Amino acid sequence: MVQRATRASVTVDGEVVGAIDRPGLVALVGVTHDDGPQQAGTIARKIAELRILRDERSAVDEGAPVLVISQFTLYADVRKGRRPTWNAAAPGPVAEPLVDAVVAGLRARGLEVATGRFGADMAVELVNDGPVTILVEAS
């Protein structure tokens, strides 16, 4: 999930661990069991090249920062009952390296990338610009 933001930050235990202080993107990255390095590379490319900034520009075009936050809850299943299940989300040892690969792919494209902290209880603040929120999938 990618959101256009004017600014955003992630706080863990009272400490800001990642922030962007100018217009850019916030990427909530979820990983499922079928994902691998190829999907991580595709997601990084799409985030970097999406033309969702002002005047149909991309993060690469603008040199815009990206805040990447791991988000297993994107794979919540709420079809039955009132309590979500997380069965579709990959476990931490599988997911964390793939979230790291997305970050590396963005940085390889010359982008400034801030991150949350994998597995932590994070407080996310952002000013959604537009608002613009786009679901991005690798397949």
Active-site hit among 3, 11, 72, 115: 72
- Among candidate residues 11, 39, 71, 115, the one labeled active-site is 71
Is 71 annotated in the active site?
yes
Is 6 annotated as catalytic? no
Catalytic residue among 73, 85, 115, 133: 73
CA–CA separation, 95 and 41 (whole Å) = 14
Q: Is 118 a catalytic residue?
A: no
First CA to last CA distance, the chain:
14
Return the beta strands (E) in the chain as ranges: 2-12, 15-20, 24-29, 66-70, 113-115, 123-134
What amino acid positions are annotated as catalytic residues? 71-73
